[in-house]
Amino acid sequence: MKFTRGHRVLAALVALLLVGTIGPWLIWGEAFDRSFSLAGTLAWLRELGPWAAAAGVGLLVADIALPIPSTIVMSALGATYGFWVGSLLSILGSMLAGLTAYGLARWAGRPAAIWIAGEDGLVRTEELFARGGAWLVLTSRWLPILPEAVACLAGLARMPFRTFFWALTVGSVPLGLTFAWIGTLTEDREGLALALSAGLPIGAWLLSQRWRR
């Protein structure tokens, strides 16, 4: 197999993504893990007082570039603000993260997309999103790591904004409602809330892999 410049650039981007994802754990180890546990995130938000809502939404948007466990943050928002406000903040954060990733990738333009993926790679990506892009965007919101990567690919493929927006919305609304509700369990059943916050995305990933076969 001949490796083109597009393959090399994609490999470099994947390497950078892995460094960004794994790096904080390698540098700060257990301290980073504790900070983004459900209890750690909840304590941090409560310390911020009136700024907690903005900080929680900011963490969800930062998931574009950092390994933020977004479902943990959503559950912490539900625990802090209750079901309805926590749901709204979670949905807002998920929507802003997806729109930012999509917008940045689309703003980069077709020349940048070709430089990153190569002409053939871009054509295949465009074909993929033309066939089932809406379902891909929708289901990716429930999976670990993938949501903003898929949003970036949608932007590179110049997926129609209206289609992307509605797929993002349909994926983000039940996600925010579910994990904000899980957060309301923390006072009485913190272990269950933590297990659901961390386990549901993994379960969704396993189901998606099984469905693809």
Give yes or no for a contact between 202 and 144, defined as CB atoms under 8 angstroms apart: yes
Report pLDDT for 120: 73
**How many other CB atoms sit within 10 Å of the CB of residue 4?**
14
Report pLDDT for 182: 87
Give the 3-state secondary structure of residue 29: coil
Report pLDDT for 108: 79
Report pLDDT for 24: 47
Report pLDDT for 212: 47
pTM for this model (two decimals): 0.74
Report pLDDT for 54: 96
Domain ranges, residue 58: 5-212
Task: Please name the residue ranges forming H helices in the chain.
Answer: 5-28, 30-35, 38-47, 52-62, 70-81, 83-140, 146-156, 161-183, 190-212
Please state the domain count of the chain.
Answer: 1
Q: Token pair of 120, please?
A: 């053939």
Report pLDDT for 91: 97
Report pLDDT for 201: 52
Per-residue pLDDT of the chain (213 residues; tens, 9 = 90+): 444 544 554 455 545 454 454 544 444 445 444 555 777 888 889 999 999 999 999 999 998 877 788 888 999 999 999 999 999 999 999 999 999 999 998 887 777 666 666 667 667 777 778 788 888 898 888 877 678 888 988 998 889 999 999 999 999 999 999 999 988 886 555 555 555 555 555 555 455 445 445
94: amino acid identity, one letter: S
